[in-house]
Amino acid sequence: MRDLFAWLKKFAIVLFILSVIIVYFIYTLLKPEERLPIYQPDMVNAEMVDSTVRYIRKYHTIKDFELLNQNGDTITQEDYKDKIYVADFFFTTCLTICPVMTDHMLKIQEKIKDDPEVLLLSHTVFPKTDSVPVLKEYAEEKGVIDAKWNLVTGDKKQIYNLARKSYLASKSNGDGGPYDMIHTENFVLVDKEKRIRGFYDGTDAEAIDDLMHDIKVLQKE
């Protein structure tokens, strides 16, 4: 009788382990793969989108650009080809949201510094004063890694067109004079096909955690 109880105990343990394994595999198979949305202009707050692209419902991508980085190098889409990247808009003399955003970008940089798939791109919204030397000094002061993060300047109209028509991240088109500036806290996640996959509050630490999670989701797609 004792042997029978011992055998039944072993059988019950084995049955329990097999049940757990089966349930796990069924759950894994049935659980849908996590995927990020592909943002189109008609999915975003209309105030942040130029009227010429506001009603586009598919195939929206970041348009080609040609800007100068902190080293005076020309930066184009080719530098971000087959890369996931995080884009934002800032200016070096900003004393409100920009310092917090830059600190969060630095934290992202630290997490992706050894990941060849992910880059950063920050556009100055005040190119009149944020020249290449100014961006270089700012980059050195903050600890920007040149190979991971471009701070870019250039033609104001091009930058604002990118903000409103490509990144869908500005209420202003920059036509209101030299001090009419984009002032958005948005970090924009762009995939390898130049599509927008997420918007995040660059001043919110929890949003940055969400962004890092979503980068990993993109890498699995």
Say how far apart CA 104 and CA 97 lie, in whole Å: 11
| Concatenated DSSP letters of 60-120 | --PPP-EEE-TTS-EEEGGGGTT-EEEEEEE-TT--SSHHHHHHHHHHHHHHHTT-TTEEE
Burial class of residue 200 in the structure, from the number of CB atoms within 10 Å of its CB (0-12 exposed, 13-18 middle, 19+ buried): buried
Give the pair of three-digit tokens for residue 94: 């900003």
Confirm or deny that 98 is annotated as ligand binding. yes
Nearest to 79 by CA among 140, 121, 125, 127: 121
Contacts of 173-177 with C-beta under 8 Å, sequence gap 24+, read: 173/50, 174/125
105 contacts 120 by C-beta, under 8 angstroms = yes
**DSSP code, position 159:** H
| Strand stretches in the chain, DSSP E | 66-68, 74-76, 84-90, 118-124, 149-152, 186-190, 196-201
Q: Which residues contact 181 (CB under 8 A, 6 or more apart)?
A: 91, 125, 126, 172, 174
Confirm or deny that 94 is annotated as ligand binding. yes
Confirm or deny that 213 is annotated as ligand binding. no
> Which residues make up each annotated binding site?
94, 98, 183
> Known binding site for Cu cation: residues?
94, 98, 183
